[in-house]
Structure 1
Amino acid sequence: MSTIPRIAIVGGGPGGLVCARTLQRHGMPVTVFESEATPDSRSQGGTFDIRDDTGQVGLRAAGLFDQFLALSRPEGQELRLMDRSATVLRHHRPEPGDTGAPEIDRGQLRALLLDSLTPGTVRWGHAVEKTVPLPDGTVRLEFTRGTAEEFDLVVGADGAWSRVRPALSDARPAYSGVTFVEVHFDDVDRRFPAIAERVGQGMMWAKAGRLSLIAQRSADAHIRVHVAFRGPLDWHEGIDLADTEAVRARLLGMYEGFDESLRDLMRHNDGAFTNRPVFVLPAPHTWNRVPGITLLGDAAHLMPPAGVGANLALLDGAELARSIIDRPGIDDAVAAYENVMLPRSIDRATTTADILAALMPDTDSTDPAFPDFFG
């Protein structure tokens, strides 16, 4: 490019950080704006399975693949599928050396990406209020702190409730009909050996009809459980979500008939229950191009949680960066990126919607019905 473009990435998640890292590797300056006050403002959540055909491609482009492998847990690819009686229906154990989709804790991945950036790249405590396209093709970011800055390209990598997306699209996430209620267990190998054994080194999924219990091991002997079910958004009507014992009683009543060893996942958890309804963007989600603005990751294609979102965000970030590096102008670069990203995201959004419908049907059947894509 004849002049160095001013590039802003809104959102310090995996996709935005991979994009920033890849740009910097090729001498391209970039600023990341993150609404969180510090890197440690909140827990980063559970784990990602980083797949060799998507997420790993992004990490290779960022020059971080070897560091990722050193942190990842290939044993986390273990999977146990059960019915509600806790009978194991399928048990996948990864072969030695299998790096097809190793797990890594979200916090570890974010720290790896942040540490790879030039100091000062991320400007913490900068929440975007509004994204304004300007007549000359540049874009103004207005921040909740009362300041504003202008850029040649603004990349919305700010997730489900993006403040960049409204400049391109009127689409808003809608409730999918499925809710995850999250619980935690710390120091499981010592304190809850039976639960640790049932979950194993990776994921355990027990289901019957519209009800599922999904437990996954993280690093440091931590297990995160999602009590997952298809039902109304207000499933908790009549109880206070802050009342841990009331939520526990409601969920145990919903999962009457599940083996008691599985119901223990709702009896003995550490701390409160966290309500996480699953929202998705419409599929297909597309937009007419606006000069100087594009999206990646969940901001572009919020999908059901089927192991796809983070991987696509990493791939999106790397591909957008490469497009900017390889093409003579921002408009050409964004067009080339969106011409690949949008069809891919439409295809994956349709597939993940089908997966969610198959895994979480609207039926009270006791049939576990794990589809063939689980292998």
Structure 2
Amino acid sequence: MSSRVAIIGGGPAGLTLARILQQNSSIEVTVFEKDESCHARGQGGSLDLQPGSGQAALHAANLYDEFMKHTTLGGEDFRLVDRHFNIYQDIRDTETGKPEIDRGKLRQILLDSLEKGTVRWGANVIKVEQGKVILDSGEEGGFDLIVGADGAWSKVRPMVTDSKPFYSGITGIEFVLRNAKINHPQSSEVVGNGSIAAFGETDPNGIACHRLSNGDITVYAICKRPENWIRDELDTSSPHGTWQHVLKAYTDFDPRLQQLFKDADVSEDTVLPRQLWMLPPGARWETKPGFTLIGDAAHLMTPFAGQGVNIAMQDSLNLAKEILAFRDDLTKAISNYEQSMFVYAEEATTLTAMNLQDCFLPGGVGKMSAQIDKRMAAMLAKEMATS
């Protein structure tokens, strides 16, 4: 008899889990996604997929070759600077083992791999109960397992833990530079083919930029601010007002970095303030039969270690393996998955929280640079050992 699995959330974690499970005919999968369609909203910038997590999941999903077709040429290039544009890292034309891909393209690859009708678009989940998904339009039951892949404000999380997200102290504001090489050559040169990060250390501001495959560049103002900052100080009804506020906040940054904001396309769809939330590092819970969590629903973290989507896809891979190994005892499958996930998720969330603090402390950029050197040296040693 087949098992029925409901996945709440159609992001990379939920879709990866659906794809791996769907390759086995004894597992029936339904993904409930509140977006009305795959084009309902933008998917943000780019991300890198790492060998032991994101890439491993794509191998298991038989999608690795398709993924490589859509990676960004030169996307692994990375520059790390301080606010005065002193360069700490300038990685160019180097294979780091972590290819970059647009978030939207990764999602589309996963969507295209699923059987027709797997994703229920416009499915607004109100809550879940044992074996049952409650939507604003009705309910559907008969599920053996409900997986929360529904992000920060997961509707599934309350079924397994009382843990709730808290504000990280950081608000990000997203901007876009359209067709940067043609329209903004100076800023395009600053960002390069991949990405750049700049932090002020004693200044409560930072910048992160990624080049997309279509030639646009996403620029993020990373602001250490109180939780009520957007409400009390930003006029979010006016994209131009938000833009002006950011320009004033970065006047002590190098002119080349300020220009990244000056070149931004200022419109309602491209000036997007977002608060960054997180769950306590090391959060754990007792296994609850019939429910589990993956991705941000399980271990929400900020982007300060580049771990989020990779750990999320590692969750999907590991949970799928346990379900397929113990399809007649899903509680054991959940428990096995959760016990291993707690370990690697704690490591990732702790590192992310430390990096967040370092970015805004004296010497923080240097510490980040040293970490990069250490990872690059380990990668080189591994390559030499296997060559």
Q: TM-score band, normalised by the shorter chain?
A: over 0.9
Write the deviation string for residues 200-220 of structure 1: whole angstroms up to 9, x where unpaired: 011111221232111110111
Q: CA deviation at 1:44?
A: 1.2
Matched, 1:163 2:131: no
TM-score, reference length from structure 1: 0.92
For 1:357, the aligned partner's letter is Q
Which region of structure 1 is more displaced relative to structure 2, 112-121 or 144-153? 144-153
- SS of the equivalent of 1:6 reads strand
Aligned to 1:136: none
Matched, 1:303 2:295: no
Aligned to 2:285: 287
In structure 2, what is the Cα distance between the partners aligned to 1:369 and 1:227? 20
Residues 367 and 44 of structure 1: CA distance in aligned 2, closer, same or farther (over 3 Å): closer
For 1:324, the aligned partner's letter is I
Contact 1:105 1:219 in 2 (8 A): yes
Q: CA deviation at 1:228?
A: 0.7
Q: CA deviation at 1:346?
A: 1.4
Q: CA deviation at 1:146?
A: 2.7
In structure 2, what is the Cα distance between the partners aligned to 1:353 and 1:99? 23
Q: Of residues 210, 235, 240 in structure 2, which corresponds to 1:216? A: 210
Write the deviation string for residues 143-180 of structure 1: whole angstroms up to 9, x where unpaired: 11233323110011111111111111121111011111
CA RMSD of aligned residues (A): 1.7
Aligned to 2:243: 248
Aligned to 1:320: 319
In structure 2, what is the Cα distance between the partners aligned to 1:196 and 1:316? 36
Aligned to 1:197: 189
Write the deviation string for residues 217-244 of structure 1: whole angstroms up to 9, x where unpaired: 0111010011112121233424412222
1:1-375 to 2 correspondence within 5 Å?
A: 3-27=1-25, 28-73=27-72, 75-95=74-94, 98=95, 100-133=97-130, 139-209=131-201, 210-236=204-230, 237-272=232-267, 273-305=271-303, 306-327=305-326, 328-361=328-361, 368-371=365-368, 372-375=370-373
TM-score, reference length from structure 2: 0.90
For 1:314, the aligned partner's letter is M
In structure 1, what is the Cα distance between the partners aligned to 2:365 and 2:294? 35
Residues 255 and 128 of structure 1: CA distance in aligned 2, closer, same or farther (over 3 Å): same
- SS of the equivalent of 1:195 reads helix
Write the deviation string for residues 301-339 of structure 1: whole angstroms up to 9, x where unpaired: 001112111001111111111111112321111111111
In structure 2, what is the Cα distance between the partners aligned to 1:341 and 1:262? 39
Which structure is higher in helix share? 2
- SS of the equivalent of 1:269 reads coil
Q: CA deviation at 1:126?
A: 0.9
In structure 2, what is the Cα distance between the partners aligned to 1:203 and 1:99? 13
- SS of the equivalent of 1:77 reads coil
Contact 2:9 2:148 in 1 (8 A): yes
Contact 2:174 2:219 in 1 (8 A): yes
Contact 1:52 1:99 in 2 (8 A): no
Q: CA deviation at 1:279?
A: 0.3
Q: Identity over aligned residues, as a percent?
A: 37
Q: CA deviation at 1:341?
A: 0.9
Residues 345 and 368 of structure 1: CA distance in aligned 2, closer, same or farther (over 3 Å): closer
Contact 1:84 1:368 in 2 (8 A): no
Contact 2:167 2:278 in 1 (8 A): yes
What are structure 2's unaligned runs of at least 5 residues?
374-387
Write the deviation string for residues 93-116 of structure 1: whole angstroms up to 9, x where unpaired: 243xx2610000011111100111
What are structure 1's unaligned runs of at least 5 residues?
134-138
Which region of structure 1 is more displaced relative to structure 2, 226-235 or 159-168? 226-235
In structure 1, what is the Cα distance between the partners aligned to 2:251 and 2:347? 37
Which region of structure 1 is more displaced relative to structure 2, 101-110 or 76-85? 76-85
Greater relative contact order (Cα < 8 A, sep 6+): 1
Write the deviation string for residues 19-66 of structure 1: whole angstroms up to 9, x where unpaired: 111111122221111111111111111111001121001111111111
